[in-house]
Structure 1
Amino acid sequence: MTTLFDRLWDAHVVAPLDGGAALIAIDRVLLHERTGAAALNALSEAGRKVQDPARVFAIMDHIVDTLPGRTDRTLMPGGQAFITETRAAAQAAGITLFDVGHPDQGIMHVVSPELGIVLPGLTLIAPDSHTCTQGALGALAWGIGSSEAEHAMATGTLRLTRPKSMRATFSGQLAPGVTAKDMMLALIAAHGAGGGAGHVVEFAGEAVTALDLEARMTLCNMATEFSAFAGLIAPDEVTFAWLKGRRYAPQGASWDAALAQWRALRSDADAVFDAEIAIDASTIAPMVSWGTSPQASVPVTDAIPADASSAMLDYMALQAGAPLIGTPVDAAFIGSCTNARLSDLRRAAALLKGRKVAAGIRAICVPGSSAVRRAAEAEGLDRVFLDAGFEWRESGCSMCFFAGGESFGDGSRVISSTNRNFESRQGLRVKTHIASPETVAASALAGAIADARDWAHG
């Protein structure tokens, strides 16, 4: 009756503590330039060192520009200091740094799986709420604050109150044109942005196991938008095939030994969860958000709900009962740790090939990592995006959020493959509609929110 979460938790308990808490062993720590220097410098000023530098990785992704030819200089006021200070602190601490211009630079939640830094059965933390992305590989991964990062780097542990467990089972098969992004938006729309609060959510069912690993990462990425502590998917042959041969993955005899352990990382057939959710995947349609929370999402062919929040409608300049399709947009963005992997770019490019973005639309594609960018260019995907009228960028978080210093323009309306549509998330008064890369591509072509299924090449 043991769940996957039980197995991961029990394997990492160093010591039980009062009140349902425990001291948990931390296997990997990821840092970024927005808070990395603060954590490393505070540790040094306290006279402490990183206990095991080989387990700590710093990546330039949040503030660094994604404009071609970028340097340490950035559009964010004062942003260059974040970059240079993180570089100096990482070098002083002796940790691995994926710097500006490094061939492995990218968004941390894309880079870590690419390199096999995250592995099944590990605990992994980072000062970023979307660290839960990496639970797609059967790891317990969650976001923390800078002070917790200091503690973990100094001691290899964290104090943690044990979350509850939840299983979200997606039965059946997805219809053509429906993606993992749509699965998660449908879940959050049905059960609320707070539906997973206090729980580690294991995603299971036929529709989940049918996903490739990159799509599974999209699913787990948005566990935090469900208010979950973390998202998990049991590792399987898809996971193992993805990891084999990656730089930080075990090799040779160590690989065989690891596989034997990883295959035991699953929930028992009779495992009991604190909460269960069941969704028929065949009923899910391509989703688009209409409001300022991921839960304010509907199928792209539906109208905005009659009982929609007036505050959200006022901000988004929309009306209850109005259709979403045909709503004009000013810009389209494909990027972020949610949907900027190679498979995402391939699907978007398939719609864009031989077509042009509508007049007046600013369209930007930001690959999730430098490796994704190189692979896309090797396949000619960059030419497809450029020929269609998209900007083709260097990798990074970019306009997923406004902290990078770049915006789509005050009050503009954007269709975006990102994970959050909060007020001013992508710039002052910017109205963000989140959707799959396919929906973003189709909407860029139409100049308005569109159903990607209508744009599929026959």
Structure 2
Amino acid sequence: MGSTLANKIWDEHTVRRGDGREDDLVFIDLHLLHEVNTPQAFDDLRASGRRVRRPDLTVATEDHNTPTLSLNRMISDAAGRRQSMLIRQNCAEFGIPLHRLGDPGQGIVHVIGPELGLIRPGMTVVCCDSHTTTLGAFGALAFGIGTSQVEHVLATQTLSMPRLKDMAVTVDGRLADGVTAKDLVLTLIAQLGTAGGQGHVIEYRGEAVSALSMEARMTLCNMSVEAGSRAGLIGPDQVTFDYLRTRPGMPQGADWEAELAYWASVRTDDDAVFDKEVVIDAATVVPYVSWGTNPSQSVPMHGRVPAPGDFADAQAQVAAERALEYMDLRPGTAMRDIAIETVFVGSCTNGRIEDLREVASVLEGRRVADDLHMLIVPGSAAVHRQALSEGLDRVFAEAGADFRAVGGCSMCCALNEDRLRPGQRALSTSNRNFEGRQGKGSRTHIASPAVAAATAVAGRIAGPTDL
């Protein structure tokens, strides 16, 4: 019987196979760090007298606390300032390369990894952030880890883990015009629920997935964790190879051809068997938007806010009641009738140049609605430079949008000054709509960049065709 892509990568990186009482020990090709979840790991490393085993396979960036208004702006939160200071001190002490605020390679960790050519097919990649699943778009096995695991990887360049199950998500046919990877993954999460992928690696397959750009594939894999899965990945193909060819540090000549030959072998065997399979008809996927307080509480944009009684499961009914109360929504309300006060475009889900181009194409020649604040934050310094070179900043300015100069997580996690007020309602291109995610008492609807741009113009949830 053949093997899945995830199992092939796992087997190639297994240092010691578990015996049932112990987990497998897996070698890690790349360890990514950011400032928020790492200080304790370095303290414990130092206390035990250990060094970083492979600083050459470790890369750090500043992203979560980063002020987005100006490179010279001080982090206002004392804890955030300390975290940024510590990542600089720790990286200097242990010899780890760090992309600091102001560096040309700085940005959200899941955005700069691909930009800098650090992610390649067949790799194992970890980071102290659940949305490391983004990087599976390259045919890499990438997942988030906790602080104690960060220390283990720093000290040993390995990770002790139980083998994961495999789930295939096949999307037959082609997505309709105006339907995006964000809509596809929200459709999947609404179908699976937030725990449907628990303990699995999701491999996305099918014609619709093959037709996606690399940046769209990253969006799809990014939100795999919202379905409870540990990782999401897509087998590499010509789209992958063409993207990698433009990245820094790629091999040349015969070395490039040798890499291509290996990458082409990084695929699931035709006779491989998955533990779970889901099939989606691409023709049924439409623009989606969330109404509740987790990504599975989403409906088609042309739909209505559901009532608790619409759910068969008692637990889902209770969750819906709480979500409706928190979001201050009435069952039966048309999604297009929900007024929005703030629109946020950015995050590791939708803060790349293609996302900004999509937003600009909707905003061009239009104005943001009165009394609505539209915040656009690039995912990295490189994305910001590219946006300037293409004149997207002028489109944003003429539309009345607030385009920030510094790349970072921004309002996605509200760890800097970019946050909502209590009770304020936003539409966001980020990945989570949990209670208080974008500020205490904030109410968040998540959707695609195109829907975000149209909503900013309409002042209520809308799509480009509504304009």
TM-score, normalised on structure 1?
0.97
1:233-289 CA-partner distances (Å, limit 9, x unpaired): 000111011011422433333222111111011111221000000000111110000
Would the aligned equivalents of 2:180 and 2:287 in 1 still touch at CA under 8 Å? Answer: yes
Whether the 8 Å CA contact 1:40–1:90 is kept in 2: the answer is no
Within 5 A, what are the aligned runs for 1:220-299? 220-299=221-300
- Structure 1 distance, partners of 2:465, 2:300, is 12
Q: Secondary structure at the match of 1:250?
A: coil
Deviations 1:360-382 (A, max 9, x none): 00110000110011001100001
Q: Which residue of 1 aligns with 2:314?
A: none
Is 1:323 paired with 2:334? Answer: yes
Aligned to 1:343: 354
**Counterpart of 2:251 in 1: which secondary structure?**
coil
SS of residue paired to 2:273: coil
Q: Which residue in 2 is equivalent to 1:43? A: 45
Q: Which residue of 1 aligns with 2:134?
A: 133
- CA RMSD, Structure 1 to Structure 2 (Å): 1.2
> Matches of 1:299 and 1:91 in 2, distance apart?
49
Partner residue of 2:466 out of 436, 454, 457: 454
Aligned position for 1:435: 447
Counterpart in 2 of 1:28?
30
Q: What is the alpha-carbon distance in structure 1 between the residues aligned to residue 380 and residue 19 of structure 2?
A: 42
Give, in whole Å, the separation in 1 of the partners of 2:191 and 2:197. Answer: 12
**Structure 1 residue 154 displacement after superposition:** 1.2
Aligned 1:164-175 pairs, distance under 5 A: 164-175=165-176
Normalising by the residue count of structure 2, what TM-score does the alignment of the two structures yield? 0.95
Match of 1:61 in 2: 63
Q: Secondary structure at the match of 1:78?
A: helix
Alignment partners' CA distance in 2, 1:163 and 1:123: 14
Instruction: Give the structure 2 partner of residue 423 of structure 1.
Output: 435
Q: Which residue of 1 aligns with 2:313?
A: none
Q: Does the aligned pair in 1 maintain the 2:373–2:401 contact within 8 Å?
A: yes
Q: Which residue does 2:212 correspond to in 1?
A: 211
**Per-residue deviation, 1:37:** 3.1
**What are the within-5 Å matches in structure 2 for residues 270-419 of structure 1?**
270-306=271-307, 307=310, 309-393=320-404, 394-419=406-431
Q: Helix, strand or coil: the match of 1:263?
A: helix
Give aligned-pair identity as a percent. Answer: 48
Once the two structures are superposed, what CA deviation does each residue of 1:151-206 show, in whole Å capped at 9, x if it has no partner? 11211111110010000001111111100000000001112111100100000000
Measure how far apart 1:18 and its partner are: 2.5
| Per-residue deviation, residues 32-84 of structure 1 (Å, max 9, x unmatched) | 0112333233212321111111110010001111112444x213233111111
In structure 2, the residue matched to 1:12 is 13
Query: What SS does the aligned partner of 1:338 have?
Result: helix
Structure 2 residue aligned with 1:108: 109
Contact 1:148–1:158 (8 Å) recurs in 2: yes
Question: 8 Å contact 1:77–1:405 — kept in the other structure?
Answer: no
Supply the distance in 2 between the matched residues of 1:262 and 1:69 (Cα, whole angstroms).
39
| Counterpart secondary structure, 2:349 | coil
Give the distance between the partners of 2:224 and 2:138, measured in 1 at CA. Answer: 14
* Secondary structure of residue in 2 paired with 1:158: strand
SS in 2 for 1:364: strand
Matched residue type, 1:200? V
Q: Deviations over 1:381-422 (max 9, x none)?
A: 011112111111110000101233431211100000000000
Unaligned runs of 5+ in 1: none
Q: Give the letter for the 1:21 counterpart.
A: D
Q: Which residue of 1 aligns with 2:183?
A: 182
CA distance in 1, matches of 2:429, 2:72: 23
Tell whether the 8 Å contact from 2:71 to 2:102 is kept in structure 1 after alignment: no
Of the structure 1 ranges 284-293 and 382-391, higher mean CA displacement relative to structure 2 is found in: 382-391
CA distance in 2 between partners of 1:30 and 1:99 (Å): 14
CA distance in structure 1 between the aligned counterparts of 2:380 and 2:36, rounded to whole angstroms: 17
In 1, the alpha carbon distance for the partners of 2:93 and 2:444 equals 40
Letter in 2 for 1:311: R
Moved over 6 A (4+): none
- For structure 2, list consecutive stretches of 5 or more residues without a partner in the other structure: 311-316
Matched-pair contact (CA < 8 Å) for 2:71–2:101: no
Which SS does the other structure have where 2:336 is aligned? coil
Task: Confirm or deny: 8 A CA contact 2:195 2:228 kept in the other structure.
Answer: yes
Contact 1:288 1:297 in 2 (8 A): yes
* 1:337 Cα offset (Å): 0.2
Secondary structure at the residue paired with 1:415?
Answer: strand
